[in-house]
Structure 1
Amino acid sequence: MGSVGVQIVCVALCVFGLIGVIVCCAVPLWKVSSFTGSNIVTAQSTQEGLWTSCVVQSTGQQQCKNYDSLLVLPSDLQAARAMTIISCMLSSLSLLILFCGADFTTCIENEDAKPKISLVAGVGMLLAGLLVIIAVSWSANSVVTDFNNPLVQASNKKELGACIFVGWGAGVLLLLAGGLICCFSRPKSGSSGGAAKYYSNSSAPSANKNYV
């Protein structure tokens, strides 16, 4: 019963982690304008994401534009695109595999195969969590490096957007779910002992016949 509860918790963690990764992939809040130093013009701010760049006016109006080419993007955003998409795919696939191998479902009747299937799902969640953490950490390092670079103009400096923190949270949830699944998805070790007892009992009558 304990393993069933852990699997349900892991499913919930994976769902929230998957939602967080999708938000990071879709919302253009990876890099936002920084109003520091001599940059006192706050009438508009820029927001950059994986797919679009937006300009937000002080009146609330927002205009977004897709990037003209993949080649004009910095290397951190190019890698983040691939890693977040792969993380979304791994999270979704791991969630489906976990449902198939969970103890509270009857998709698979073989009880010996369920721990192995759940273990595969746990490894997939771990990989998905690592990918999204690497993506947002790389982008965060690029933002911090440019912010502390004195050669970069104040008007061009960016700060960490909300998606960076959402990505860290989603990665932690996926790592936690994958770690719990890997810890609790162990093959049952009682089958070999039962077989040994069976053979020992069956060999007892034959031994008695030899003595008779």
Structure 2
Amino acid sequence: MDPVVEVVALFLGFLGWVMVGITIPNRYWKVSTVDGNVITTSTIYENLWMSCATDSTGVHNCREFPSLLALSGYVQASRALMIASVVMGAFGIVATMIGMQCCRVGGENLTMKGRLAGTGGAFFLLQGLCTMISVSWYAFNITQVFFDPLYPGTKYELGEALYIGWCSAILAICGGSCLLCACKVGRDDTSPYPYRNTNGTVYSLGAQSQRKTGSTYDKNAYV
């Protein structure tokens, strides 16, 4: 594997992992819309853990969701997927760093290092998929309620955290794909090794076997 590809893939995966850590505590997963409102006295915004409100004077109050089981199913699933994304990203970073050729950890076994780097790429892919599913599912529920004309409650729009999450997923998927596509766990040598005798003449293994079996003689020599 090209060391440059390893470094680029590790950088993309690490950057995606950091952005996941920024996305999770961000408060602006969804923000109350001002569409159709003449006067807006307060802005409500939520994430996976709490709901906050800011009035026109700039004072804001936040409260955590009191019960996990009382939350909507997509919020619970998004929580689990984002936590799984952080764990997968951590495993991917460790496996990729050990599998890099410039890293002395793990010895000089390039085959084993290639497998570790490929494993790190798989973890980065899982990280990106978990983040993408979580963020997209959350955004789908927001848009579904927003375009429902019969919904009586507060409608929301997509917050900045969702866009950060999408960028994080794309970076992680790109890093994992680079590692998996460029990783070579082994090499098969199909060409025969040359043979050099004592007087300096070079023969291939095929020519050497022919000389031993006498297959180079003409058929007339046996008559």
Task: Name the counterpart of 1:168.
Answer: 166
**Structure number, greater radius of gyration:** 2
Q: Deviations over 1:91-139 (max 9, x none)?
A: 0110011000011211121112111111111011111101110111111
Correspondent of 1:185 among 183, 186, 195: 183
Assess, with a 3 A threshold, how the Cα gap between structure 1 residues 72 and 40 changes in structure 2: closer, same or farther: farther
Report how far residue 71 of structure 1 moved. Answer: 2.0
Residue 35 in 1 paired to residue 31 in 2?
A: no
Displacement, 1:188? 3.5
- 2:71 is the alignment partner of 1:88: no
1:7-34 Cα shifts (integer Å, max 9, x gaps): 1111111121011111221112111110
SS of the aligned residue for 1:108 comes to: coil
Aligned twin of 2:115: 116
Deviation at 1:61, TM superposition (A): 2.5
What is the identity percentage for the equivalent residue pairs of Structure 1 and Structure 2? 29
Q: What are the ranges of 5 or more consecutive residues in structure 2 without an aligned counterpart?
A: 196-203, 215-223
Q: Distance in 2 between matches of 1:56 and 1:92?
A: 35
Distance in 2, Cα, partners of 1:20 & 1:62: 25
Q: Residue 151 of structure 1 corresponds to which residue in structure 2?
A: 150
State the Cα deviation string for residues 154-209 of structure 1 (Å, max 9, x = none): x600111111111111000000000000011112315x558x638986xx69x86x
Write the distance in 2 (CA, Å) between the matches of 1:104 and 1:65: 48
Q: Kindly report which structure 2 residues correspond to 1:1-212, keeping only aligned pairs within 5 A, or say none.
A: 3-37=2-36, 39-109=37-107, 110-153=109-152, 156-190=154-188, 192-193=189-190, 197=193
Query: Per residue, is there more helix in 1 or in 2?
Result: 1
**How many equivalent residue pairs?**
203
Query: Which residue in the other structure is 2:201 paired with?
Result: none
For the residue of structure 1 that corresponds to 2:34, the secondary structure is: coil
Distance 1:174 1:45 in 2: 33
What's the Cα RMSD here? 2.4
TM-score for the superposition, normalised by structure 1: 0.87
Amino acid corresponding to residue 146 of structure 1 in structure 2: V
User: d(CA) in 2 for partners of 1:165 and 1:183?
Assistant: 27
Q: Which runs of 4+ in 1 moved over 4 A?
A: 198-201
Determine helix, strand or coil for the equivalent of 2:6. Answer: helix
In the alignment, residue 67 of structure 1 is paired with which amino acid?
F
| Runs (5+) with no aligned partner, structure 1 | none
